[in-house]
Amino acid sequence: MSENPIQSAERLFGVLEALAQEDSMSLTELSETLRLHKSTVHRLLKSLLCMGYAEQDPQTSHYRLTYKILALSSACYSKNRLINRVHPYLESLSAQCHETVHFVKKSGHRLLYLDKVESHEYVYQMYSRIGIFNELYCCASGKALLAVLSDEQIRELWPSLHAEARTPYTITSLDAFLAELQTVRENGYAHDRQESEMGLYSIGAAIPDFTGGTNYAVSITAHISRITDITLTRNIQLLKETTSALSQELGYQSLR
């Protein structure tokens, strides 16, 4: 990433991003998180308060984001042409498999959630939310996106992925991960067997687009108790059909 030419803008958005991760934060907590002097953080907070993007709790003096930031993200989301084209496919997939589905993008060395359709029948708490990042190495969709790279590229990239055990099932060995990606390449989809979150099982597949690249993926997430050979086979087929249709929607031309 190139150096930000406007340091104050970088710091202001740093405050926004920090507050977005917590219900509220004190001036001291923000200062420590951002590694900035309290006086600097205080000026940035005053600016956000003035613009209506943050508010201060009169009882605790802690700061939190207001709903104005949600209105901004909602406007951005509703105007996104890519999301508008993809969302109907996600709704259809969720309705058929009765599970929660995600549309993600590879962003640097991480994964960004662009869209999500939650199951109306089975509701369970999960980490994923539109607009937040997750790690590539432990998610089904992340593995699917990494599988398009060669083993040599993965070896070079591996230190940047910072593979740590999120659960007892997370793959943190490079050799084991390379073997896992080879299976993904052979099958055309990836598994997340409670590697990102305990109790959740996901399958994911990448979506080649008109550029010939593979930067997007779709996943289906279900509670582990709902995974049987029958449901898994059905969901894999539905996932493949959806990603194939989306690939055509996004203009991918296969070589024949």
Tens digits of per-residue pLDDT, 185-229?
999 999 999 999 999 999 999 998 766 778 899 999 999 999 999
pLDDT at residue 49 in the model: 92
pLDDT at 256: 38
- Is residue 139 exposed (0-12), middle (13-18) or buried (19+ Cβ within 10 Å)? buried
**Residue among 112, 107, 208 at smallest CA distance from 160:** 107
Asked whether residue 47 falls in the same domain as residue 130, the answer is: no
The share of the chain scoring above pLDDT 70, in percent, equals 89
For the chain, helix, strand, coil in percent to 5 are: 45, 20, 35
Give the three-state DSSP class for 200. strand
Domain co-membership, 21 together with 100: no
Tell me the per-residue pLDDT of 1-15, one tens digit each, with 9 for 90 and over. Answer: 456 567 788 899 899
Average pLDDT, the chain: 89
| pLDDT value at residue 1 | 46
Point out which residues pair with 116 in neighbouring strands: 102
| Same domain as 199, residue 109 | yes
**Phi and psi, residue 117, nearest 5°:** -120, 115
Taking the alpha carbons at both ends of the chain, their separation in whole angstroms is 37
- Under the banding of pLDDT at 50, 70 and 90, the label for residue 75 is low
- Domain shared by 88 and 184, yes or no: yes
Query: What pTM does this model have?
Result: 0.71
- Check whether 254 has a pLDDT greater than 70: no
In this prediction, residues 154-178 reach a mean pLDDT of: 96
Q: If DSSP codes are grouped into helix, strand and coil, which group holds residue 187?
A: helix
CA distance 53 to 68: 6
Query: Which domain CATH number covers 202?
Result: 3.30.450.40
pLDDT for the residue numbered 68 = 81
Q: What pLDDT sits at residue 255? A: 42
Q: Which amino acid is at 207?
A: I
Other beta carbons less than 10 A from residue 145's beta carbon: 25
Give yes or no: residues 157 and 38 share one domain: no
105 and 223 within one domain: yes
